DNA sequence: TGAAAGTGTAATCGAACCAGTTACATACTA
DNA sequence: TAGTATGTAACTGGTTCGATTACACTTTCA
């Protein structure tokens, strides 16, 4: 995964859908709320549809809608849907590499780094879209919107 | 932080230093073990020096050396030393943004994502360079180096 | 039935980032 | 002083990514 705004955009997008409720929302409208281009939203939406978080209707009055209540959508599910690369990358070395350390470090590192990322994912699994939106709504009501 | 091999390179580099022990190791030699260019190693080394993990001597017979035993160097310390950007980025929106959700989502997201990254860091804090090298050495002895 | 409002998708552009490399100044040792 | 190192700047090529444009396709509704 690159230094990446896609995850934030995805959560924001689903947040808008959750906020609006049952009515389909167009990618153009979401793009305005997120501050980007409709195509960017649709690119992300494609993956969310593929993973069953969202359904899309084409044509007039169409747009996107959540397939389940926000309480049943965890941030981990959103993260997984985006199919990002790993945060860390362990460069390959070639099998005939001279240094024994070089050859052995790689699998060890991969294991450790994967475990570290799993910790992060586990945390995201504990937070639902509903949790996020509760905080957002609270901020709106209190007027802390800046 | 970008999809990033620097962290892996840094751990690998310090692993070589730990393996060699007290004798200074040149960036050229490390670069060969890591499979990259000496300048890349020196760029990373600069930061490790800045954070006190490593000391460097110039001139003939010079090179780098750990400043403390591997058991006292955690992966989290290495990670911090690299001063990478955050894994996630929450795009800025401008204060006069029209959508109230857009304005309020940002701080909430930032908080959640920071917490997620802290989980990862906490895990890295529990693992020392010595732990990693123990696994590496075990792999070498057993001959599982591929 | 046809216009309008949507999405799907490909292609292109420019900016940013990064590893690799070269080159050279500087520092240290023998 | 010669040789071995690091420090650092500069350039390059590849990759990624968001933004944008363009166009085909789908659906609704008047």
Chain B residues 48-107 with a CB less than 8 Å from chain A:
75, 85-91, 93-95, 97-105, 107
Q: From first to last of its 146 residues, what are the pLDDT tens digits of chain A?
A: 345 789 999 999 999 999 999 999 999 999 999 999 999 999 999 999 999 999 999 999 999 999 999 999 999 999 999 988 888 888 877 655 667 788 888 889 999 999 999 999 999 999 999 999 999 999 877 764 44
HEC string of chain B equals CCCECHHHHHHHHHHHHHHHCCCCECHHHHHHHHCCCHHHHHHHHHHHHHCCCEEEECCCCCEEEECCCHHHCEHHHHHHHCCCCCCECCCCCCCCCCCHHHHHHHHHHHHHHHHHHHHHHHHHHCCEHHHHHHHHHHHHHHCCCC
Q: Would you state the structure tokens that stand for residue A117, as one six-digit string? A: 């990322």
CA distance B30 to chain A (A): 10
Query: Which residue is it, tokens 């709106």?
Result: A140
Residues of A within 8 A of B12 (CB-CB) are 101-102, 105, 109
Compute the distance between CA of residue B135 and CA of residue B120 in angstroms, rounded to an integer: 20
Is A26 within 7 A of strand C by CB distance? yes
Task: Tell me which CATH code domain B6-88+128-142 carries.
Answer: 1.10.10.10
* Domain boundaries of chain B, sorted by first residue: 6-88+128-142
Give the DSSP H/E element, type plus range, for residue A63: strand A63-66
| Cβ pair B88:A2 closer than 8 A | no
Does CATH place domain A6-87+128-142 in 1.10.10.10? yes
| A122 inside 8 A of chain B by CB | yes
């Amino acid at each position: 995964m690159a230094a990446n705004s896609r995850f934030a955009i995805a959560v924001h997008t689903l947040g808008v859908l959750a906020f609006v409720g049952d009515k389909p929302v167009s990618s153009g409208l979401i793009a305005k709320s997120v501050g980007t281009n409709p195509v960017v939203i649709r690119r992300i939406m494609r993956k969310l549809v593929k993973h069953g978080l969202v359904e899309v209707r084409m044509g007039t009055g169409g747009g996107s809608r959540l397939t389940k209540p926000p309480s049943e959508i965890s941030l981990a599910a959103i993260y997984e849907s985006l199919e990002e690369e790993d945060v860390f990358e362990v460069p390959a070395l070639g099998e005939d590499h001279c240094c024994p350390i070089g050859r052995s470090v790689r699998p060890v590192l991969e294991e450790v780094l994967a475990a570290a990322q799993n910790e992060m994912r586990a945390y995201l699994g504990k937070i639902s879209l509903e949790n996020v939106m509760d905080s957002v709504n609270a901020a709106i009501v209190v007027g802390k919107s800046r």
